[in-house]
């Protein structure tokens, strides 16, 4: 049989090593020609620590400098293009609802956010931008022609504490009546208290609250000697009445624009259950303001969801339009993770308007399906149009896209090439980096043979698809689902085995969530 290699090609700006089937090939990121604003031409020199060229190793896989112009494009049906997404709120909210003994609404389940909630094994670049890893394994029980392919992108970790640029953060805080429920406003106040102690003295924050109307509680203020004052304002927050998200966004962006700082990360942070019921309750009017300030002033939005009832769809729309991302917190442990452990990820940027495009070889691939990312789809022809919005990615992030791929009988040579394109957050110069994977006679089955982190990715994706109610039958792949999906009992067993081998508490939490879903279904 023909299967995708269990270890694919890794292109990174720093030296790598090969183990097993995995190939690490060093090469430069390229300044890329573009068709929209901010485009340029010419090739950049190698990234720090990179060799010139790249070339081919062992005749199996190759890495090439990207030359967007003058090459033969794949057939349109063999391209997959999407904006990068580092949201994790969907998975966090699913954990909350399952913990309460109920299944999440299928409409709130986004597989890419389940997958991106777990640590990955990708090597990271030494400089800004991305490393690209492509690997895969044969899907067990799906015949000899279905495989899972993982496209992994990673950014460099954050600099040491205190070395990041200052942040100007405007917190827009929901104090509506629904936020009086335990685990909402009380958790928001605790989260903000944790963050106030974590921020540097040169950071600035503003505090805006909203219920039926919006109010500025603290204009943009340097943290410096103001920590006690900030804590006092936070402690005075009390729940009000209805939820006028639109008014909160308008006032929050007014404060963010007035207090914006050159050379700083200017970001609005929305903390809410996103259950809008007053004023502009539809997303369109709110989105217009968010987009205007993102375009004119570079102000981005980070959404933090709370509450057992949560307006997931609205929060996602707001963050996507604001070139930001979303997460969900349900307890103090998660709040500390978001506002302490992951603070640099959530306030800094490594890349703006990042998009990925995977080109499949029609001679080797019969069909494919990207799991999730439905809300992040980009027209194939817009991949290199830098006027088209992509995703913003901070330091230390990984982005994973999982594909179900059906190979043609006897497939050989290159199966797919994945390219990521982004704008430098300071210069807005476009950059690209690519990695590819070939077909091989290596018989690498997913369970047991593939890398543990690829197996965790598969478990998370299978679980999400199960919660969405997708068909996983091999004959129904055209309508959705992953090939040869295990039942929830087997998925739980796989997750517990992986939790033991990786010693990763988050994978153990995944196993427990799968068990809770199985019991909720009766």
Nearest to 367 by CA among 479, 290, 460, 268: 479
How would you write 405-433 as a 3-class SS string? EEECCCCCCEEEEEEEEEECCCCCCEEEE
d(CA 176, CA 188): 13
- Residues facing residue 52 across a β-bridge: none
Beta strands 398-407 and 30-31 are: unpaired
Q: Which of 8, 150, 3 is nearest to 444 (CA)?
A: 3
Retrieve residue 92's tokens: 């966090």
Per-residue confidence (pLDDT) for residue 283, from 0 to 100: 62
CB neighbour list of residue 86: distance below 8 Å, 6 or more residues apart: 116, 325, 345, 391, 393, 394, 397, 399
Both tokens assigned to 231: 């804590």
Question: Which two three-digit tokens encode residue 26?
Answer: 């060093």
Do the beta carbons of residue 413 and residue 62 sit within 8 Å? no
List, as own/partner pairs, every contact residues 470-478 make where C-beta atoms lie below 8 angstroms and the sequence separation is at least 24, other chains included: 474/142, 474/143, 474/146, 477/146, 477/367, 477/369, 477/404, 477/406, 478/367
| Rounded to 5°, angle at Cα 359 from 323 and 445 | 100
Helical segments of 239-365, H only: 245-258, 283-297, 312-321, 332-336, 343-347
Pairing of strands 398-407, 430-440: unpaired
Instruction: Give first-to-last CA distance, the chain, whole Å.
Output: 38
**Alpha carbon separation from 453 to 13, 27, 61, 495 (Å, rounded):** 22, 24, 22, 11
- Short-list 521, 460, 465, 448, CA closest to 492: 460
Q: Are 148 and 437 in contact (CB under 8 A)?
A: no
Considering only the C-alpha atoms of the chain, give the largest distance between any 2 of them, rounded to a whole number of Å.
69
CB 82 within 8 A of CB 116: no
Tens digit of each residue's pLDDT, the chain (522 residues): 434 433 343 433 332 333 333 333 333 455 665 544 333 322 232 233 333 333 222 223 333 334 444 344 455 589 999 999 899 999 999 999 999 999 999 999 999 999 999 999 999 998 878 999 999 998 877 566 788 999 999 999 887 555 778 899 999 999 988 888 888 899 899 989 999 998 999 999 999 999 989 999 999 999 999 999 999 999 999 998 888 888 999 999 999 999 999 888 899 999 988 876 555 555 677 888 888 888 888 888 999 998 888 888 888 888 888 878 889 988 888 888 888 888 777 778 889 899 999 999 999 999 999 999 998 999 999 999 999 989 889 899 999 999 999 888 888 888 999 999 999 988 889 999 999 998 873 348 899 889 999 999 999 999 999 999 854 443 344 345 788 899 999 999 999 999 999 999 999 999 999 999 999 998
The CB density around residue 304, as the number of other CB atoms within 10 Å, is 26
Contacts of 83 (CB under 8 A, 6+ apart): 353, 354, 355, 376, 377, 378, 389, 390, 391
Q: How far apart are CA 519 and CA 522, in angstroms?
A: 5
Residue with tokens 């982005």: 399
d(CA 250, CA 247) in angstroms, rounded, equals 5
Contact, 317 vs 284, CB < 8 A? no
CA distance 204 to 267: 11
pTM of the model: 0.80
């Amino acid at each position: 049989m023909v299967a995708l290699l269990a270890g694919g090609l890794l292109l990174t700006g720093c030296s790598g090593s090969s183990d097993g089937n995995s190939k690490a090939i060093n090469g430069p990121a390229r300044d890329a020609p573009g068709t929209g604003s901010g485009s340029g031409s010419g090739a950049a020199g190698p990234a720090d620590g990179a060799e010139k060229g790249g070339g081919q190793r062992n005749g199996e896989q190759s890495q090439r400098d990207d030359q967007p112009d003058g090459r033969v494009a794949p057939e349109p049906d063999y391209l997959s293009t999407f904006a990068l997404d580092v949201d994790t709120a969907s998975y966090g909210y699913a954990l909350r609802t399952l913990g309460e003994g109920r299944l999440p609404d299928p409409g709130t389940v986004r597989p890419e956010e389940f997958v991106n909630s777990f640590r990955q094994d990708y090597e990271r670049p030494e400089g800004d931008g991305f490393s690209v890893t492509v690997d895969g394994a044969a899907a067990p029980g799906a015949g000899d022609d279905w495989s899972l392919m993982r496209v992994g992108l990673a950014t460099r970790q954050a600099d040491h504490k205190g070395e990041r640029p200052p942040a100007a953060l405007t917190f827009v805080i929901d104090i509506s009546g629904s936020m009086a429920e335990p685990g909402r406003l009380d958790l928001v106040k605790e989260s903000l208290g944790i963050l106030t102690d974590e921020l540097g003295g040169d950071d600035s924050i503003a505090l805006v609250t909203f219920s039926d109307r919006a109010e500025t509680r603290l204009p943009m203020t340097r943290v410096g000697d103001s920590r006690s004052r900030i804590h006092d304002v936070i402690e005075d927050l009390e729940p009000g009445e209805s939820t006028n998200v639109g008014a909160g966004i308008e006032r929050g962006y007014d404060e963010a624009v007035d207090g914006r700082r050159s050379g700083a990360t200017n970001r609005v942070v929305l903390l809410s259950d996103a259950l809008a019921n007053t004023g502009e309750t539809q997303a369109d009017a709110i989105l217009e303001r968010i987009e205007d300030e993102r375009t004119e002033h570079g102000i981005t939005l980070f959404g933090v969801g709370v509450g057992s009832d949560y307006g997931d769809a609205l929060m996602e729309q707001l963050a996507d339009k604001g070139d930001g991302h979303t997460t969900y917190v349900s307890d103090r442990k998660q709040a500390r993770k978001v506002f302490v452990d992951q603070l640099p990820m959530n306030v800094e940027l490594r890349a703006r308007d990042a998009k990925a495009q995977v080109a499949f070889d029609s001679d080797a691939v019969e069909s494919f399906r990207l799991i999730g990312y439905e809300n992040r789809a980009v027209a194939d022809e817009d991949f290199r149009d830098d006027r088209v919005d992509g995703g913003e990615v901070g330091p230390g992030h990984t982005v994973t896209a999982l594909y179900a791929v059906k190979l043609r009988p006897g497939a050989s040579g290159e199966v797919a090439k994945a390219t990521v394109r982004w704008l430098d957050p300071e210069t807005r110069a476009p950059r690209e980096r690519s990695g590819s994977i070939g077909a091989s006679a290596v018989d690498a089955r997913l369970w047991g043979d593939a890398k543990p982190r690829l197996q965790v990715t598969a478990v998370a994706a299978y679980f999400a698809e199960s919660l969405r109610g997708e068909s996983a039958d091999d004959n129904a792949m055209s309508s959705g689902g992953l090939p040869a999906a295990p039942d929830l009992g087997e998925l739980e067993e796989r997750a517990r085995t992986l939790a033991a081998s990786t010693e990763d508490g988050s994978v153990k939490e995944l196993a427990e969530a799968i068990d809770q879903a199985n019991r909720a279904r009766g």
